[in-house]
Amino acid sequence: MAVIHRTTMSPSKLELLTAWLPTRPWYRDGGPAPRLSKAGGFRLDDPAGAVGIEFVLVNDDAGPEPITYHVPLTYRGVPLDDADDALVGTSMHGVLGQRWIYDATRDPVAIAQIVALLGGQAQPQAQGMSDTPDPSVVSVGEFASTATEFRSAIDTPTHTAIAVDSDRSVRVERVLRPEPPTPASDQTDAVRVSVPWQIGDGSTVRGVVLAISA
């Protein structure tokens, strides 16, 4: 299980994301720089214990309409080979020292655990507590894949698609939308993961962050 340290990071995650988000194809450019605040998230454990995996949700209220972004990140003690284009930045951790922080949709350790989560083989963990499952992260549907290698992720204006089989991909939602109280009938059996997050007025909504698509 990952150990969550009560310490500082310099620069902070929000500072790194403020600079990185505007470089992404799915960033909704409202003119001014992002003005970010924490909205929610969860973690997954790396079975080898070497890589931190966190699913960060942030609110951006800089534009005319508030937007919630989903940014999966990985934290490594050494650089990931051939992944310069996936580097969000580096930060000095108060306990662990320098960390290399990557877009998790390009990190094979994170992708394997995302597939495991969608297949019911990985348990979501609380974002801010060690060794604590997070029951608010809800998986629906059944998915199985024997893939052990994954093709490059492709960004779109709304999501990132990661090919896991010849005819299926993991859809990582980037611009989040609250789901309706009753899902559409054609979505009731879809393989997906939904989470809660807090919006600007302090209320909590829920929406899909990961799904399987053909």
Using CA atoms, how far apart are residues 29 and 98, in angstroms rounded to an integer? 31
> Can you give the pLDDT at residue 145?
74
Interacting residues of 133 by C-beta distance below 8 A, sequence separation 6+: 123, 124, 125, 126
Return d(Cα 162, Cα 34) in angstroms, integer.
26
pLDDT at 94: 72
Give the pLDDT of residue 196: 97
Asked if residues 121 and 114 have their Cβ atoms less than 8 Å apart, the reply is: no
Are 207 and 178 spatial neighbours (Cβ–Cβ below 8 Å)?
yes
Residue ranges covered by each domain of the chain = 9-213
- pLDDT value of residue 52: 94
* Cβ neighbours of 34 (radius 10 Å): 23
Cα separation, 13 vs 88, in Å, equals 9
Distance, C-alpha 209 to centroid of its chain:
8
The answer to whether 101 touches 95, Cβ cutoff 8 Å, is: no
CB 100 within 8 A of CB 86: no
pLDDT at 202: 86
Full-model pTM: 0.92
Give me the tens of pLDDT residue by residue for the chain, a chain 214 residues long.
567 666 778 899 999 999 999 999 999 976 778 999 999 999 999 999 999 999 999 999 988 889 999 999 999 999 999 899 999 999 998 777 799 999 999 999 999 999 999 989 999 999 988 789 999 999 998 787 766 667 678 999 999 999 887 778 999 999 999 987 665 545 555 899 999 999 988 899 999 999 998 7
